[in-house]
Structure 1
Amino acid sequence: MNLFTDFDSRIKTVLENLEIVREKRSELDFGRISVEPPRDQSHGDVATNAAMVLAKPLGLNPRALADLIVAELKNDPEVADVSVAGPGFINVRLSVAYWQKLLAAVVKAGADYGRGSLGAGRKVNVEYVSANPTGPMHVGHCRGAVVGDALANLLAFAGYDVTKEYYINDAGSQIDVLARSAFLRYREALGEAIGEIPSGLYPGDYLVPVGEALAAEHGTSLRAMPEHQWMPIVKEKTIAMMMAMIREDLAALNVHHDIFFSERSLHAGNGAPIRTAINDLTFKGHVYKGVLPPPKGQLPEDWEDREQTLFRSTEVGDDIDRPLIKSDGSYTYFAADVAYFKDKFDRGFDEMIYVLGADHGGYVKRLEAVARAVSEGKAKLTVLLCQLVKLYRNGEPVKMSKRSGDFVTLRDVVEEVGRDSVRFMMLYRKNSEPLDFDFAKVTEQSKDNPVFYVQYAHARCMSVFRQAAEAFPGLDIASLDLAGAIAGNISDPSELQLLAKLAEYPRVVEGAAVAQEPHRIAFYLYDLASAFHGHWNKGKEQPELRFVNDKNRELSIARLGLVHAVASVLKSGLSITGTAAPDEMR
C-alpha cells in the first residue's frame, strides 16, 4: 500500500467529479499534480499542489479551486482534517483508522512492502567496477562497486529486470605490460635475482603468486622461449589469476556480478564483432573517411594526421567525430566501445547504465552518441560518475598499502572496518560528490555513525520480540495475527509519527529508482532509525508507550505489529544497500 499513490488517486477522482474540471478535462495536465509529505509535519500528513497547477487553465483563482477540492475531500471518512495553505496548497490530515489500515497492510506485505512495478520488467544492464585486471581492487574502485551494486538492487526492487555486468579490460597494451611484469616474477620464482622492478612495470607483490604458479606449471620452459611465444601463455594465466583475485575482493564487499564480459571476445576472429558493429553504423550512415583536425591540448592516442575511418558522432550529440579504424587498419579503443554497446543492445537491454570513475567524464557524450546511433534512439544510456574517496584515520590521511605497491586495496579497507561499514558509508553521500572516509568514525558505536545507528535500530526491533517472549511465556509470535491486532490499538501521536515515516518508503524507493540515486535509501534508513530510536526513548520516560506491556497482552501484540513493520523496512532497505540487518549488536 502506497499512501501517496492512494491519495493521488483520491484527489484525481475528486477533480474528475468537479463539473468545471469535466468541461475542460482535455485541456488539463494531471501529470503535474504532486502528492507528497508536507515540508512541515505540523501542517498534516499529505500535501498536494493540485489547485496550484490546474487553476490557470480552468480560469480560477488557486485558492478558489482549492476550496472546491477541500469541500469534496471532507466527505472522505478517512480524512480527519483538510485545509488550504498559502497560495493554494492543500494539506490533508489522515484519520487514525487510515493509519491503522496502512500499518496492517505493511505488516502483511512484509519484505515486499515498497517493492514496485515502476520498471515493468524493462531490461536494464548495470555495468560497474570494470577495472583493468592488472592488480587487486583498490579503494578507488570501491565506491563505484558499491554504487553500481546498490543501484542494481534498487532497480530490481522497483520492478526492473536487472543484469549486473563487469567488463574485463583484457585487451590492449596494459595487458602486455602486465604479462611482462608477471614474467619477471616467474624468473624470480625460478631463482633469478630480478632486483628493483623496472619503471613501467607493475611493482606490487600480488604478482609473486602468479610467477610461482607459472614456474610450477611450466618449469624453465618459458624462459627459453622468445617473447612472442611466452606472451600468450603468460597473459592467459595472469589474467585468470588476476580475475580470481578481483572476484574474491568483490565478494569480500558482497558484490557479485551476473556476467563477466571479456574485451578480448570483441577482437576474436580478427575483430569480427567490431567489424560487424562498424558495418552496422556504416549502413545507418554514421561512418565516413576523413581527417580530424588536431584537438586542443594533449593529443589523444587515436589521433592521426591522415585519413581514417571516422564515426560521425557530432550528428548524434558528441563534441567531435571519433576514429574507428586507424590508417594502418587496426581498430581504436573506441571501436571496441561501439561493439560492446551493440552487443548489449543485441542482447535485448532497453537501458544501459555505466558506473564510472570521475576521471571518465570525457566518455559521457561519446557513449551517449554511440547509444543513439546503434539503437536509433530505442535504448537509453546513462553514465553515473563516482567522485574520489579520501581515506583518513582520526583525521589523518591513510598511507599506501605495501602489498599493492602504490595504493590502498579494497580488501585492506574491508578487513579493517567490515563490509557493512564500507558499503553503507560509500552510499552515505551522493556519488557525484567527493567522500571522506574516516576509519575511526565508521567504527564508532554512536548516532554519528550511520551504519551502526541503522543496524542498531534493527537489532532493537529484534530485542522487542525477545522481551515479548519473556513477558508472555508460551507466546508463539510467529503464529500471531499482528496485522489483525492493530485496529483500535495503535493511536498515540508518537506511534503515528513513526508510521508516517514508514509510509514514505515506497515513495522513496520509486524516487530513488527514477533518479538512479541509491544514496536516498541510505538517507531514508537513517531517518527511519532516528524515528524509531526517538519513540523508544519516549518509552523510557513514558512507560505507557513501551512496546511490551506485561499488563496488556492485546496492546503489546498490536505494538509488535508496529515493530515488525519497522524491522521489515529496515531489513528491506539494508538489503538494497547490500548491508546486513543484525538481530543483535556485538
Structure 2
Amino acid sequence: MNLFTELRALVIESLTAMVSEGALPEGLDFANVAVEPPRDAAHGDMATNAAMVLAKPAKLKPRDIADALAAKLAADPRVQSAEVAGPGFLNLRLTAPVWQNIVGAALNEGVAFGTSKMGQGVKINVEYVSANPTGPLHVGHTRGAVFGDALSSLLAYAGYDVTREYYINDGGAQVDVLARSVYLRYLEAHGEAVEFPDGTYPGEYLIEVGEALARTYGDRYVNQPEDAWLEEFREFATAAMMDLIREDLAALGVSMDVFYSEKSLYGTGQIEKALDRLSAAGLIYEGVLEPPKGKTPEDWEPREQTLFKSTEHGDDVDRPVKKSDGSWTYFAPDIAYHYDKIDRGFDQLIDVFGADHGGYVKRMKAAVSALSNGRVPLDVKLTQLVRLFKNGEPFKMSKRAGNFVTLRDVVDQVGSDVTRFVMLTRKNDAPLDFDFDKVLEQSKDNPVFYVQYAHARVCSVLRKAAEAGIKADDTTLAAADLSKLDHEAELAVARKLAEWPRLVEIAARTHEPHRVAFYLYELASDFHGLWNRGNELPELRFLQEGDIATSQAKIALARAVAVVISAGLGILGVTPVEEMR
C-alpha cells in the first residue's frame, strides 16, 4: 500500500477531469506531476507540484490551476484540507482514518508491506566484492560486500529479478604471485628457511595452504624450477583462497548466486567474440595513443596497439584492448565478461567497485553501451574507504593477513549484524569511520542499537500483553478499532510508517540502500519518542488497564512499527532482536 502513489493517482484523476471540463487544455503531459512529503512538515502531510509543472504548457497561472485542483481534491473523503501556498504549490492534509488504516495495512501485509512491483521482473545483475583470490577479504571488501548484498535485497524487494555475482579475477599476474608465495610456504613446511621478497604475500593465512601442498605432493617440488610447479600451485592456491573467501562471505551473511571465473574467458573464444562485436560496429582500430597526462616525450614510447573507440560512447580517451606484443590488456577480458552478461539476458547491470576503480567507470560504461547498442544500462557504484578506530586510535593491522585488517577481524569483534548496519550508515561514495567502541554503545548515537532497541521494545509490549491475557496476534490487531489511535503523537508514527513503501521505491530507483538505514533510524526515533511520551501521559501507554479494545489498537501501532523495522533490517541483512541484553 503506497499512499503517495494513491494520492498521486487522485491528483492525476482530478487533472484529467479538469481537462474534460475545459479548465485545462488537452494534450498535457502529467509525467512530472509528483506527490511527496512537504519540505516543512508544518505545511501538511503531502504536497504536489502539479500546478507548477503544468502552468507553462497550459499557458495558465500556477495559482489558478492550484485553486481549481484544490477544490477537486478537497472533495475526496481522504483529504481533510487542500491549501495553495506561494506561487502555486498545493499542500494536503489527510484525515486521521487514512493514517489509522496504514497500521492495519502493515499488519495485514506483514513484511510484504512496502514491497513493490516497480521492477516488474526486470533482470538485474549485481556484481560485487570480486576481490582478487589472493587472500582473505579485507575491510574495504567488507563495505562493498555489505553494500552490494543490501542493494540486491532492496532491488528484489522492489520487484526486480536479481542475480548476485562474484567475478573471480583468476586470469592475471596476481595469481602467479600467489602461487610463488604459496611455494615459499610449501618450502617452509619442509623445514626450509624462506624470505618473502617484495611483491609476494607474506600473510600467515598461506601457512595452511603450504602445509596442505606438502601433504599432497610431498617433497616432489622442493628446489624444482618454477615451470615445474607454477600451474599446479596456482590452481591449488586459487581454490584454497576462494574457499577462504566463501567462508568470509558466509560469516557476513552474504551468499552469491554465481561465481564467474575470469580464466574461463581465455582460450575459449569469448574475448574474441566480444571484440568482433565491437569491430563489426567500427569501434576497433589500430592506432597510437597520446601520452598519458604527466608523461614527457623522453619517458613515453609510442606503440601501435589495438584500440577500442570508447570515446564514441562517452569515454575521455580510446582504450587499448591488445598490447603491441599481441597479448590482451586487462580491459579485454572485462569487456568479454560484460558481453557475456548481456548475452545471458540481463536488462540492467550494476558493478560495485572500490574507490580505487574510479578511473575505470567511463571505459566500462562505454563498453557496455557499445556491446548492447545502448540497450543495457550499467551503473557503477564506488564504495569509499573505511577508517577503523579502537580506543580512539587507528586499528592495528592483522598479523594473519600480513598487511591489512580482514573482514573476519571486524566481524569477530562486533558481529555480522552490527558490521552490516554500520557499513550502511553512510552513502557508498562517502568515507566511513568505523569505531569499534562506538558501534557497541547502547545509546541513541549508535543507530544499530537504537533501531534494534525499538524492535525489542515492541516485543516486550507483546510479552506484557500476553501476560495480561490480551490477544495480540497480527490478525486480531489488524481488526482492532484503530480509530482509538487519535493522539497526534500516535498519528505521527503512522505517518512515518506510510513513508516506507515510497522510500523503498526511491532507494531502489537510485540504487541507495543506505536510505533504508536512515529511514529505520527515523522510525525508531519516532517510536521511542512515543514510548517516552507514555511516561508522561498515561493515555499514550500501549497497555491501558481495564480497556482491552484501546490496548489492542495501541499495540497494533507498536506491532506495525516492528513489522516495518523487521522488513527494513531484512533488506540490510540484519536480524531483528526480541530482547536487548
1:96 is aligned to 96
Alpha-carbon distance between aligned partners in 1 of 2:489 and 2:107, rounded to the nearest angstrom: 18
Secondary structure, aligned partner of 1:323: strand
Q: CA deviation at 1:371?
A: 0.7
Q: Which residue of structure 1 aligns with residue 378 of structure 2?
A: 381
* Rounded Cα–Cα distance in structure 2 between residues aligned with 1:468 and 1:478: 10
Alpha-carbon distance change, 313 to 470 in structure 1, aligned in 2, over 3 angstroms: same
The correspondence of residues 282-293 of structure 1 with structure 2, limited to 5 A, is: 282-293=279-290
Cα distance between partner residues in 2 of 1:402 and 1:463? 43
Cα-to-partner distance string for 1:260-289 (whole Å, 9 max, x where unaligned): 11110011xx25211111122112221112
Aligned to 2:353: 356
User: In the alignment, what sits opposite 1:519?
Assistant: 514
**Aligned counterpart for 1:308 among listed residues 296, 305, 308:** 305
Equivalent residue pairs, number: 578
2:250 equivalent in structure 1: 251
CA distance in structure 1 between the aligned counterparts of 2:38 and 2:290, rounded to whole angstroms: 55
In the alignment, residue 169 of structure 1 is paired with which amino acid? Answer: N
2:18 pairs with 1:18:
yes
Tell me, yes or no, if structure 1 residue 208 matches structure 2 residue 203: no
Q: Could you say which residue in structure 2 is the equivalent of 1:570?
A: 565
Mean Cα displacement is larger for which, 40-49 or 218-227? 218-227
Report what 1:52 is aligned to. Answer: 52
Amino acid at match of 2:557: L
1:165 alignment counterpart: 165
Q: Is the 8 A contact 2:481 2:549 kept in 1?
A: no
Report 1:397-546 matches (<5 A).
397-472=394-469, 475-478=470-473, 480-546=475-541
Aligned-residue offset at 1:323: 1.5
Task: Pick from 329, 332, 340 the counterpart of residue 343 of structure 1.
Answer: 340
C-alpha distance 258-368 of structure 1, shift in aligned 2 (>3 A): same
C-alpha distance in 2, partners of 1:493/1:278? 63
Deviations along 1:215-257, one digit per CA (max 9) or x if unpaired, are 0111111226432121111111101111111111111111111
Distance change (3 Å), C-alpha of 1:550 and 1:140: same
Output one character per residue of 1:40-80: Cα deviation in whole Å (capped at 9) or x when no partner: 22222111111122223223222222111111122112212
**Contact persistence 2:19–2:26 (CA under 8 A):** no
- Aligned residue identity for 1:516: H
Give the root-mean-square deviation of aligned CA atoms.
1.6
Change (3 A) 1:98 1:304: same
* Structure-2 separation of matches of 1:483 and 1:432: 41
Change over 3 Å in CA distance of 1:63–1:274 after alignment to 2: same
- C-alpha spacing 1:338/1:19, structure 2 compared with 1 (3 Å): closer
1:367 to 364, 375, 385: 364
Question: Is the 1:16–1:22 contact (alpha carbons within 8 Å) kept by the matching residues of 2?
Answer: no
**1:6 matched residue in structure 2:** 6
Conserved 8 A contact 1:314-1:321? yes
Give the 3-state SS of the residue equivalent to 1:517 in structure 2. Answer: coil
Moved more, 124-133 or 224-233: 224-233
Separation in 1, partners of 2:317, 2:19: 56
Per the TM alignment, residue 476 of structure 1 is displaced from its structure 2 partner at its CA by 4.5
Question: Of residues 530, 534, 552 in structure 1, which corresponds to 2:547?
Answer: 552
Instruction: After TM superposition, give the deviation of residue 197 of structure 1 in Å.
Output: 1.8
Residue of structure 1 equivalent to 2:293: 296
Question: What code does the residue aligned with 1:318 have?
Answer: D
Encode CA deviations 1:435-479: one digit per residue, 9 max, x unaligned: 11111110000000000000111111111110100112xx45337
Change (3 A) 1:131 1:249: same
Amino acid of the residue matched to residue 337 of structure 2? Answer: Y
Deviation, structure 1 residue 100: 2.1
TM-score, normalised relative to structure 2: 0.97
Superposed CA offset, 1:503-556 (max 9, x none): 000111111111111110000000000000000111111111111113111111
Contact 2:108 2:475 in 1 (8 A): no
Q: Deviations over 1:137-178 (max 9, x none)?
A: 111211111111111111111111101111111111111111
CA deviations 1:1-38 (Å, max 9, x no partner) are: 11100100111111111147757554422112111112
Alpha-carbon distance in structure 1 between the residues aligned to 2:22 and 2:333: 56
Amino acid at match of 1:564: R
Instruction: Compute the TM-score of the two structures, normalised by the length of structure 1.
Output: 0.96
Residues 1:391 and 2:388 aligned together: yes
CA distance in 2, matches of 1:422, 1:410: 9
In the alignment, residue 8 of structure 1 is paired with which amino acid?
R
Distance 1:25 1:337, change over 3 A: farther
SS at match of 1:297: coil
Q: Which runs of 5+ in 1 are unaligned?
A: none
**In structure 1, C-alpha distance between the alignment counterparts of 2:376 and 2:475, rounded to whole Å:** 48
Aligned equivalent of 1:325, options 322, 332, 339: 322
Aligned-partner Cα distance in 1 for 2:198–2:234: 20
The residue type equivalent to 1:454 in the other structure is V
Residue range with higher mean Cα deviation, 56-65 or 565-574: 56-65
Which range is displaced more, 384-393 or 40-49? 40-49
Give the Cα separation in 1 of the matches to 2:500 and 2:561. 11
Residues 1:31 and 2:21 aligned together: no
Asked whether the equivalents of residues 99 and 498 of structure 2 are also in contact (C-alpha less than 8 Å), the reply is: no
Gapped runs of 5+ residues in structure 2? none
Match of 1:264 in 2: 263
Note closer, same or farther for the CA distance 1:308–1:386 as it changes in structure 2 (3 Å cut). Answer: same
Give, in angstroms, the shift of residue 313 of structure 1: 1.2
Cα offset for 1:296? 2.0
Please identify runs of 4+ aligned residues in structure 1 that moved more than 4 A.
19-26
1:331-386 deviation per Cα after TM superposition (whole angstroms, max 9, x unaligned): 11111011001110001111111111111011011001101111111100011111
| Distance (Å, rounded) in 1 between the aligned partners of 2:307 and 2:237 | 34
Q: Secondary structure at the match of 2:272?
A: helix
CA distance in 1, matches of 2:24, 2:98: 33
Structure 1 pair 559/223, CA: closer, same or farther in 2 (3 Å)? same
90-99 vs 499-508, which moves further: 90-99
- Could you say if the C-alpha distance between residues 298 and 352 of structure 1 is closer, same or farther in structure 2, counting changes exceeding 3 Å? farther
Deviation at 1:399, TM superposition (A): 1.5
For the pair 1:140 / 2:137, whether they are aligned, the reply is: no
Q: Specify the code of the residue in structure 1 equivalent to 2:106.
A: V
Between 325-334 and 494-503, the greater mean CA deviation after superposition: 325-334
Q: Contact 2:146 / 2:420 at 8 angstroms: preserved in 1? A: yes
Do 1:292 and 1:304's aligned partners in 2 also have CA atoms closer than 8 Å? no
1:178–1:19 CA distance, 2 compared to 1 (3 A): closer
